[in-house]
Amino acid sequence: MTTMDTRELLQKVGVNLELHDQLIAYNNKLFEATIRSAPNRPAAMEYFDSAFHASHSSRVGEILDYRTRGGKSIGTFCIYVPDEIALAAGVLPIPLCGGSHWPVDYADKMFPRDICPLIRSTFGMAFSETCPYKKLKDASVGETTCDVKKKAWDLLGFEVMEVPQKKAAVDRDLWLSEVIRFRSFVEKLSGITVTADRLKETIKLVNKRRRVLQTVNDFRRLPNPPISGLDALLVSQIALSQDIQIFISGCERLIEELHQRIKQGISAYQHAGPRILVAGTPSPMGNAKVHYALESSGLRVVADESCTGMRYYRDLVDESPADLDGMMKAIADRYFSIDCSCFSPNKERIENILRTIDEYDIDGVVHNILSFCHTYNVEAGIVDKALAKIEIPSLKIVTDYSFEDIEQLRVRIESFSELLKPVMT
Ligand code: SF4
Ligand code: SF4
């Protein structure tokens, strides 16, 4: 697609070109300075780099073409909206969580300033007319995971799935009823009935996307990971925004290259720095600040306990049920197992973190918490109690998307590094 094509396309979907140029200039500059500046990247990362740019160009064209042919699409947030069901009803889910700092002030038009940057970025893009997906959807579907989201959906009139806050049988039944209600919602939107055959197919497809993510991330367990934390984050960020089949092929090429790198003894890192688990809130596309701060300070991020990490790909939907009811229950169970901090209590999260520390040979945990995300911020204290018992040090970083505090972060990371076990170089 030529530059002219892209501008025409963006104009067609109602984007303010002048402001959009500013957004893209900001995002590109940061992308070059953080993700692209890392040394020794696998050549297969080229696809993911292009996909980053395509999310505001050719991907927009693909979705517009799909809609011109009569296809339906919905905007989604979070990882609770079951893609399998939407796809089985012929509805394309478009993830809308924002990760760029540039639009956050535009959110002031409707929201207070003291809310998390994820929400401010998402709606700042919408209000500044720089989100190319605003007009490319028939509805938006949110969930009740946190207070700011719940009230944002009310304000904007979104469809809402109720995510319970506890994990008893009664809560699971409520969630199953919400999943069934979501099926009716997408069926009504597209006029396509979800059949057992179609759902079986989409369960397998979405599981395949999770499986390739698992394989890419398994390489990070090795003593000398052939892929960096920054690149692994980019792969996860791209996962939901691009065509599933093309994304899976991109991952398969990357996996092949990572196998070759291992045979040739090629590590993504020049020095064997301490191995870090980053835990907490997601880092949507455009935000790689904490990963960059850590890896450019000599630490290696080898695992991500977040929704742009293992919280998305760890659990698969059971593929064994043959009937529609069984499949719906399997989908509900898989999504209900997500260990988001909105749950009380959330002991699965602690168990998952402790297991990850063991499997990935973690030296220290960094809590990466978006400002004003109270549940993850408070839950960090519960995680720390469990970490203290196994003598794993942790550092809590509460920050937004701006780079204003990067030097302060570096100073804190440097002190934290001194607490970590000495590493053989
Ligand atoms: S952290 Fe919780 S609320 Fe946020 S995207 Fe993940 S599951 Fe959703
Ligand atoms: S980061 Fe926290 S506060 Fe922000 S939308 Fe997600 S759960 Fe809510």
Torsion of Cα atoms, 211 then 325 then 347 then 78, to 10°: 60
Q: Which residue has the tokens 């790198």?
A: 261
Is there a domain that residue 381 lies in?
yes
| Among 111, 118, 397, 400, residue to substitute to test ligand 2 (most atoms within 8 Å of Cβ) | 118
Bridge partners, residue 91, by sequence: 72
Please write the tens of the pLDDT for every residue from 20-31: 999 999 999 999
Is there a domain that residue 424 lies in?
no
N residues, the chain: 425
Amino acid present at 36? R
Query: Does residue 96 line the site of ligand 1, with CB under 6 A?
Result: no
Is there a domain that residue 425 lies in?
no
- Residues 333-336: contacts with CB under 8 Å, at least 24 apart: 333/172, 335/79, 335/80, 335/82, 335/175, 335/179, 336/167, 336/171, 336/172, 336/175
Instruction: Identify the pLDDT of residue 424.
Output: 46
Q: What spacing in Å lies between the alpha carbon of 370 and ligand 2's midpoint?
A: 7
Which ligand places an atom closest to the C-alpha of 78?
Answer: 1
Query: Does residue 307 line the site of ligand 1, with CB under 6 A?
Result: yes
| Among 370, 371, 398, residue to substitute to test ligand 2 (most atoms within 8 Å of Cβ) | 370
Distance CA 16, CA 265 (A): 48
Low-confidence ranges of the chain (pLDDT < 50): 424-425
DSSP helix/strand/coil, 17: helix
Helices marked H in 43-168: 45-54, 58-68, 83-88, 117-127, 147-156
**Atom 5 (ligand 1) nearest CA:** 78
63, with CB counted inside 10 A (0-12, 13-18, 19+), is buried
| Among 78, 149, 312, 341, residue to substitute to test ligand 2 (most atoms within 8 Å of Cβ) | 149
Instruction: Identify the pLDDT of residue 32.
Output: 97
Distance CA 121, CA 80 (A): 20
Which ligand places an atom closest to the C-alpha of 150?
Answer: 2
Instruction: Identify the pLDDT of residue 425.
Output: 44
Q: What spacing in Å lies between the alpha carbon of 281 and ligand 1's midpoint?
A: 7
Instruction: Identify the pLDDT of residue 3.
Output: 53
Is there a domain that residue 169 lies in?
yes
If you average pLDDT over every residue of the chain, what do you get? 96
Domain extent, residue 336, equals 3-419
Is there a domain that residue 184 lies in?
yes
Q: What spacing in Å lies between the alpha carbon of 79 and ligand 1's midpoint?
A: 6
Helix (H) or strand (E) holding 140: strand 139-143
Torsion of Cα atoms, 371 then 374 then 376 then 381, to 10°: 110
Cα separation of the two ends of the chain: 46
Q: Residue 143 in contact with residue 80, Cβ under 8 Å?
A: yes
Query: Does residue 97 line the site of ligand 1, with CB under 6 A?
Result: no
Q: What spacing in Å lies between the alpha carbon of 346 and ligand 1's midpoint?
A: 13
Is there a domain that residue 195 lies in?
yes
Instruction: Identify the pLDDT of residue 325.
Output: 98
What token pair was written down for 219?
Answer: 């390489």
Distance CA 166, CA 168 (A): 6
What token pair was written down for 149?
Answer: 């989201």
Number of domains in the chain: 1
What value, to the nearest 5°, has the Cα angle with vertex 387 and ends 146 and 414? Answer: 90
Is there a domain that residue 68 lies in?
yes
- Tell which atom from ligand 2 comes closest to the C-alpha of 145: 7
Please write the tens of the pLDDT for every residue from 177-215: 999 999 999 999 999 999 999 999 999 999 999 999 999
Q: Residue 298 in contact with residue 227, Cβ under 8 Å?
A: no
Query: Does residue 145 line the site of ligand 1, with CB under 6 A?
Result: yes
The Cβ of residue 419 has, within 10 Å, a number of other Cβ atoms equal to: 12
Of 211, 217, 241, 206, the closest CA to residue 99 belongs to: 241
Q: Residue 13 in contact with residue 197, Cβ under 8 Å?
A: no
Which ligand places an atom closest to the C-alpha of 149?
Answer: 2
